[in-house]
A = this chain, B = another copy of it.
């Protein structure tokens, strides 16, 4: 099938490659970079989102933030200018659920279908095609998208048939992951400053009520002091801000999420925003006198 793909970064790049390897013809564009690797893998470069939409029957977007999706879809020379009725747009970025509803309505007005299908799992699972994909949108649109999604993800869940529902699940995921990373960082800094051994405490806690993927993975990397991304701090802060901004629109109060988000300002202040989000540990260590 002819597929359009916009956004070929650390996630979009390997996702697109899995589509090429699955036998599809890819028409790609990235606003920031010439997507050399994916073109070498057999994709065709396009000069604009408009051209991507003219050449791809289904158009996938995988860009950093809500304004990037808006620009890719509705900006000058954007996807909307190239769409014809009957096409399908799948946004796999992690963005605002409320903005997603507005984007879906505008795409719908062009006679096209829209799915929000954000992912979790990070670059390793993007490479392996084993992402978790959370979908919001009509069942028939998902049926059409499923063969493509199966090349990129191991688990595909229709969260709800309303556009935005996939993004709601992703926001919920990021609230939990972001706060659990903060929780583990606070616990391990407390442990060290109280004179006990963080590695031993983590090992003991993994057997009980505090057990989590985050304590296992990110907790292990905190103890190993491995701050390489992984999931960049600036993207975690972006996701927490997606949560806080949607919460503002919805009238939902997220006090601990708000506290955790603030720490990322300090991560930025020390120039560590490209490091892994476990860098909140260093901020808490500095606050406790290093």
Q: Give residues in A with beta carbon < 8 Å to B.
A: 97-98, 120-122, 132, 134, 136, 155, 157, 159-160, 162, 164-165, 168-169, 171-173, 175-180, 182-184, 186-191, 193-197, 200-201, 203-205, 207-215, 217, 243, 246-247, 250-260, 262-263, 284, 287-289
Known: A190-B171, A252-B193, A288-B252. A208 touches B258 (CB 8 A): no
Most B CB contacts (10 A, CB to CB) among A204, A258, A262 go to A204
How many copies of this chain are found per oligomer? Answer: 2
Q: Is the CB of A194 within 8 A of B97?
A: yes
Q: Is the CB of B254 within 8 A of A180?
A: no
Q: Is the CB of A207 within 8 A of B132?
A: yes
CB-CB under 8 A from A256, the residues of chain B are: 179, 182-183, 186, 256, 259-260, 263
Q: Is the CB of B164 within 8 A of A208?
A: no
Q: Is the CB of A196 within 8 A of B121?
A: no
Q: Is the CB of A200 within 8 A of B289?
A: no
Q: How far is the CA of A144 from the CA of B151 in the complex (A)?
A: 58
Q: Is the CB of A196 within 8 A of B288?
A: no
Q: How far is the CA of A203 from the CA of B213 in the complex (A)?
A: 15
